[in-house]
Amino acid sequence: MRVLGIETSCDETGLAIYDSEQGLLAHALFSQIDMHIPYGGVVPELASRDHVRKLLPLTKQVMAEANCNAEEIDAICYTAGPGLIGALMVGASTAQALAMAWGKPCLGVHHMEGHLLAPMLEEKPPEFPFVALLVSGGHTQLIDVQGIGQYEMLGESIDDAAGEAFDKAAKMMGLPYPGGPHIARFAEQGTPGKYLFPRPMTNRPGLDFSFSGLKTFTLNTVEAAKEANNGELSDQERADIALAFQDAVVDTLLIKCKRALKQAGRKTLVIAGGVSANKDLRAKLEVTLSGMGGQVFYPRNEFCTDNGAMIAYAGCQRLMAGHTNDKQIKVQPRWPLTDLPPLDLPTDKASD
Ligand code: KG4
Ligand code: ZN
């Protein structure tokens, strides 16, 4: 089966063509980041308008790259949620219009299931069952995954997501949106041990996360450093704070991953979502997992953040199992991952 995948849940227009026999044939991405930088975050209305501009040219581009025409596409998948409603509607309407014009089935895909399955696109994919740590701009979740659609939520953030914490901390330090990669870059020059930030909710049992206290701690540290330097934050101070902040988030995630693996009795960890691109997080998880006789899997960098390939892949798995939601333009800005049906229960409720 050959699937065209469309991702428009936030500030990236992602297109891809995935073939169940041949693998990923083509993918293309347009990031709107430059457009949103002056506003310090994503402006939903601008995001929707830009998806309208980019969707069809990128569709043509991936079809040309995959050297395939409309007849050779078997189905179309799009991100139906969670995400920004206007942005989702653009992807959903385009997907349904193409499906109608080409006479093909269409399926709405859960964005976080896309992230979760993104490592399956790699040469050495993980095998079920595993524990997944989903860390993006909107989600921080630990999930026991027995198979596609068989998800047990082990823990999640009770306030900010890890990526959101990176973005907010970066803003406090005068770094642009999205903050994660900038903090990671500054942290490389940081002085180890200069600051020690708290590891929230690690000294009590449970697998939930909270990052809002860390945000306040960062703000106080930034303000104190500025006050000591005539109201300016020097690049070295910025690097020292970035390192302490990143260490705190990475350590917190590490502690909870170990706990989750133990609780679920698993030795395989999958990390996905934008924050899984963080080199320090990957390196520390690799050491931890190999010490436990286990293994950590993650997508290649470009598939950690939002992309069309993960949507084409996830959608293809569900379509092959008989899931479809023909002709409905329906999106769900809020959509718990655990509401998804297991793969072996063919249903038209895949995005209800
Ligand atoms: O998955 P994603 O592209 O979008 C959502 O679905 O939210 O994740 C974006 C998030 C942003 O918060 C960004 O700051 C964070 O991922 N991010 C990183 C890194 N690269 C992206 N956080 C830490 N380190 C990175 N290298
Ligand atoms: Zn995402």
Q: In degrees, to the nearest 5, what angle opens at C-alpha 86 toward C-alphas 84 and 90?
A: 115
pLDDT higher than threshold 80 for residue 316? yes
Per-residue pLDDT reduced to its tens digit, 275-299 = 999 999 999 999 999 999 999 999 9
H-helix segments, the chain: 33-36, 44-65, 85-102, 111-117, 162-172, 179-187, 212-227, 235-264, 279-291, 308-320
Burial of 313 from C-beta contacts in 10 A (0-12 / 13-18 / 19+)? buried
pLDDT higher than threshold 80 for residue 350? no
Q: What is the pLDDT at residue 327?
A: 78
> Could you tell me the pLDDT band of residue 325, with boundaries at 50, 70 and 90?
confident
> Could you tell me the pLDDT band of residue 349, with boundaries at 50, 70 and 90?
very low
Task: Indicate the pTM of the whole model.
Answer: 0.95
Residue nearest to atom 3 of ligand 1 (CA): 305
Distance 228 CA to ligand 1 centre (A): 31
Q: What is the pLDDT at residue 329?
A: 87
Distance 89 CA to ligand 1 centre (A): 22
Say what angle helices 212-227 and 162-172 make with each other, to 10 degrees: 10
Q: Is 160 in the pocket of ligand 1 (CB under 6 A)?
A: no
Q: What is the pLDDT at residue 345?
A: 60
Q: Is 96 in the pocket of ligand 1 (CB under 6 A)?
A: no
| pLDDT cut 70: percent of the chain above it | 97
The distance in angstroms from the start CA to the end CA of the chain is 23
Q: What is the pLDDT at residue 42?
A: 95
| C-alpha 109 chain-centroid distance | 14
Per the document, the length of the chain is 352
Mean pLDDT of 152-172: 97
Q: Which residues of 274-289 are buried (b: 16+ CB within 10 A; e: fewer)?
A: bbbbbebbbebbeebb
